[in-house]
Amino acid sequence: MKESDNLKEISVVTNILKANDRIAHELRQGFYKSGIFVINIMGSPGAGKTSFLEAIIPYLIDNDLKVGVICGDIATTNDAKRISKNNIPMVQIMTEAFGSSCHLDATMIHTALGQMNLDGLDILFIENVGNLVCPSVFDIGEHARMVVLSVTEGEDKPRKYPNIFQKADCVIVSKVDLLPYLKIDKDEIYKNLRWVNPKNEIIDFSYNDKIYLDKWMSWYKKFIKV
């Protein structure tokens, strides 16, 4: 690649991010006025983002919270189908329609909101495209960022993909029920998470254990009071 190509790319990417950030800022203001807390959920493909939503949504409904979901995927409506059994407001964004984008951006969220009834919503989860790199760059108007990291991915991922963990308010360490069958040291995962970001919340997660949902709820209550 010629240097001139690189420079051209950087200049245009800067313009796009500026436009994205402006829309994201407007979205965030709108959410705030409507009393909706928006959480951007990121993580590798198969990390357990949708499984976390499948577990937390009925739990939040039981706690009298009204929840909505926007799912982002390149193709298929699988995630939306898994979540839709809760009968909540939800929209699936297929980024095939946006050049098979590897991340969600603020314009896609703006488009999706036009197809959703947000009345009385307390929490809107936005499940990003499975990718530990690109989604971290794009503000989509969220108030908090979560990363789901599966223990099966190995101990060193926070150090290898630092940006997404640096910007996360909460990290879900998922599939901890598989630890007995893996040569993985969970303490090492925690150490690497802390090395990258000493401040954010780290919560274990396993689909069948409600105790982790209680911990998530404590974090959520603490966070919205800030």
Residues that bind a copy of itself (CB under 8 A): 1-2, 5, 8-10, 12-13, 15-16, 19-20, 23, 44-46, 73-76, 78, 99-100, 102, 105-107, 129-134, 150, 152-154, 156-157, 159-163, 175, 178, 181-182
- Nearer to a copy of itself by Cβ, of 145 and 175: the residue is 175
> Nearest distance from residue 108's CB to a copy of itself, in Å?
9
Contacts of 168 (CB under 8 A, 6+ apart): 42, 145, 146, 147, 197, 200
- Nearer to a copy of itself by Cβ, of 55 and 123: the residue is 55
Number of neighbouring beta carbons within 10 Å of residue 12 = 10
Kindly report each contact of residues 132-135 with a partner whose C-beta sits within 8 Å and lies 24 or more positions away, as own/partner.
Answer: 132/42, 132/43, 132/44, 132/157, 132/161, 132/164, 133/102, 133/161, 133/163, 133/164, 134/102, 134/103, 135/40, 135/42, 135/102, 135/103, 135/104, 135/164
> Nearest distance from residue 41's CB to a copy of itself, in Å?
15
- Nearer to a copy of itself by Cβ, of 4 and 117: the residue is 4
Main-chain dihedrals φ then ψ at residue 149, nearest 5 degrees: -125, 120
> Nearest distance from residue 177's CB to a copy of itself, in Å?
8
Q: How far apart are the first and last CA of the chain?
A: 46
- Residue 114: Cβ-neighbour burial (10 angstroms; 0-12, 13-18, 19+): exposed
- Nearer to a copy of itself by Cβ, of 123 and 158: the residue is 158
- Nearer to a copy of itself by Cβ, of 23 and 55: the residue is 23
Residue 70 one-letter amino acid: I
> Nearest distance from residue 185's CB to a copy of itself, in Å?
14
Report d(CA 22, CA 187) in Å as an integer.
40
161 within 8 A of 153, measured Cβ to Cβ? no
> Nearest distance from residue 107's CB to a copy of itself, in Å?
4
- Nearer to a copy of itself by Cβ, of 83 and 121: the residue is 83
> Nearest distance from residue 84's CB to a copy of itself, in Å?
15
